């Protein structure tokens, strides 16, 4: 293992150091930056770029650490050197992934602590991603996506592109769709058109109308013309307005769930990458493979 530690450092020291520098700088900015929310709907653009770091960090690790990992060995034909030694390709990859993964998780922690752009709010659904745990999950997933693409596509640029695409796709699906449903939502009913007082800080998942039987009913097309459609809806059978939401006290639990979900994805992708490596390469010194 010491040999692989040296190898990983020697091969990736530039990438590791420059990422660390960028991360430390970015996290410092994220923590120090103290933006009061601007009134109205205007998006503070510098805040957007701050948030971008937390959204993208896992993908960047995937693109720069994971995607070139195997692909570059193929492009430079150094895989013949790397895997022609006594250490098997799987062990080589396992060692590298373990070390890079560890460093990545360590770097994810300061990234996850930066909440200055939100005015240091402690508890809010807006700062879901401001969590070292969640960022660690993203970063492991990103790395796994990069490593898998790297093993499938033997071309560095293409694997970088695919890694980015996979990361964006999965993050989008999870944050727009799945994240709201880790636990069944709570529902609050009110008279049609009336707004009930909701607990503070909830994440609204869905609103709508219920008919007399308690089934969700869509907005009847005839009622869309009205400015105040309440009467129209009532005549069409609407009995209640409902709001589905997630209470704020579920936030930490959901963050843990997000971490486990992404770590599970990562494990699956790493497994596939190992499978690919095992099938796609016949070591010439298999009889001397070091026992794991």
Nearer to other proteins, 15 or 98 (CB): 15
In angstroms, the CA 143 to CA 69 distance is 10
Q: Which of 28, 48, 260, 271 binds other proteins (CB under 8 A)?
A: 48
Nearer to other proteins, 60 or 269 (CB): 60
Burial per residue of 160-184, b for 16 or more beta-carbon CB atoms within 10 angstroms, e otherwise: bebbbebbeebbeebeeeebbebee
Token digits of residue 68:
């070139």
Interface with other proteins in residues 81-110 (CB under 8 A): none
Query: Least CB distance from residue 148 to other proteins, whole Å?
Result: 18
Q: Is position 8 an interface residue for other proteins (rule: CB under 8 A)?
A: no
Nearer to other proteins, 19 or 255 (CB): 19
| Spatial CA neighbour of 163 closest among 20, 60, 73 | 60
Q: Is position 57 an interface residue for other proteins (rule: CB under 8 A)?
A: no
Q: Is position 237 an interface residue for other proteins (rule: CB under 8 A)?
A: no
Q: Is position 80 an interface residue for other proteins (rule: CB under 8 A)?
A: no
Nearer to other proteins, 46 or 235 (CB): 46
- The DSSP code sequence of 208-277 is EEEETTS-EEPPPGGGGG-SSTHHHHHHTTEEEEEEEEE-GGGHHHHHHHHHHHHHHHHHHHHHHHHHHH
Task: Map tokens 């770590």 to a residue.
Answer: 263
In angstroms, the CA 60 to CA 104 distance is 11
Token digits of residue 71:
């692909």
Nearer to other proteins, 142 or 238 (CB): 142
Q: Is position 28 an interface residue for other proteins (rule: CB under 8 A)?
A: no
DSSP conformational letter for 128: T
* Residues 141-180, mask of contacts with other proteins (x by CB under 8 A): ---------------xxx-xx----------x---x----
Q: Is position 42 an interface residue for other proteins (rule: CB under 8 A)?
A: yes
The answer to whether 57 and 96 have CB atoms below 8 angstroms apart is: no
Piece of 48-56, 106-114, 126-134, 237-245 that binds other proteins (CB under 8 A): 48-56
- Residue numbers of the site for other proteins (CB under 8 A)? 14-15, 18, 22, 38, 42-46, 48-49, 52, 60, 63-64, 68, 72, 156-158, 160-161, 172, 176
């Amino acid at each position: 293992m010491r040999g692989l530690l040296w190898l990983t450092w020697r091969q990736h020291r530039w990438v590791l150091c420059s990422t660390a520098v960028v991360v430390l700088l970015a996290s410092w900015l994220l923590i120090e930056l103290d933006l009061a929310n601007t009134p109205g709907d205007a998006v503070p653009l510098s805040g957007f770029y701050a948030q971008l770091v937390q959204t993208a960090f896992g993908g960047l690790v995937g693109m720069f650490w994971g995607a070139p990992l195997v692909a570059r060995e193929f492009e430079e034909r150094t895989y013949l050197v790397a895997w022609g030694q006594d250490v098997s390709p799987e062990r080589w990859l396992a060692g590298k992934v373990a070390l890079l993964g560890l460093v990545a998780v360590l770097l994810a922690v300061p990234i996850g602590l930066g909440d200055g752009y939100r005015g240091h709010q402690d508890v809010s659904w807006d700062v879901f991603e401001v969590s070292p745990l969640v960022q660690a999950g993203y970063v492991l997933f990103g790395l796994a996506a990069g490593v898998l693409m790297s093993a499938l596509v033997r071309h560095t640029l293409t694997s970088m592109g695919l890694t980015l695409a996979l990361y964006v796709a999965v993050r989008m699906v999870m944050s727009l769709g799945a994240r709201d449903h880790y636990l069944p939502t709570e529902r609050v009913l009110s008279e049609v058109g009336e707004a009930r007082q909701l607990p503070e800080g909830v994440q609204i998942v869905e609103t709508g109308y219920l008919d007399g039987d308690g089934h969700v009913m869509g907005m009847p097309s005839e009622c869309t013309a009205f400015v105040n459609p309440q009467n129209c809806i009532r005549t069409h059978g609407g009995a209640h307005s409902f709001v589905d939401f997630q209470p704020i006290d579920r936030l930490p639990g959901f963050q843990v769930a997000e971490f486990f979900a992404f770590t599970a994805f990562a494990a699956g992708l790493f497994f596939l990458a190992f499978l690919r490596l095992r099938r796609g390469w016949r070591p010439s010194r298999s009889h001397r493979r070091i026992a794991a």
